[in-house]
Amino acid sequence: MLGGVGSSWRSRAAFLLFNSELHCVACYRFGRFTRRMRVRHPLAALPLVVAHRLWNRRCTHQHQCDIHREAVIGPGLLIMHRGGITVGPARIGPNCTLYQNVTIGMRVAQNDQGVPRIGRNVWIGPGATISGDVTIGDGVTISAGTVLTRDVPSRCLVAGNPGRVIAQDYDNSAMVNALDS
């Protein structure tokens, strides 16, 4: 139910209280909720906005995980190891897995106004960087340390700096399913 967490209420409570990766995802989701509330009920949402800003500051400084409020992330975001994760304004599909030291965002140096668009079931390894107006297809695996500044078709394995497709029709479901057990 909770990814390898025991069935006792104590182990579940400990998981919910002390899992920093879960806190980072929950903080992002709460922030999106407060944004919607601010539009509909600005005055009533004020305490929620303040609470989110405090929680977000804690996640950014204590857990080293910063997910921009303009990012649009589908359900099933999984952060495997927190620390050094920065997600700027990006569009990320469902069931994306992020490891530590991942950076996703705009390419500021070249005044590139586009944001990364990442498909479904994408696995992003440690130290990967995705920058600029790029589209990453469904089921893509981005290896550790990859720097991506170009589009990637679906079901590919990408590695290197600059990122290159090293395998096509690559099935990352075994990697993703291993995380479920």
pLDDT > 80? residue 33: yes
- The string of pLDDT tens digits covering residues 100-149 is 999 998 766 666 678 999 999 999 999 999 999 999 999 999 999 999 99
Q: Where do we find the tokens 């857990």?
A: 63
- The string of pLDDT tens digits covering residues 59-108 is 888 888 889 888 999 999 988 887 899 999 999 999 999 999 999 987 66
pLDDT of residue 176: 65
Query: Mean pLDDT, the chain, as a whole number?
Result: 86
CA angle (141, 146, 150) in 5-degree steps: 80
Domain spans, the chain: 7-63, 66-181
Q: What is the pTM of this model?
A: 0.82
- CATH node for 66-181: 2.160.10.10
pLDDT > 50? residue 1: no
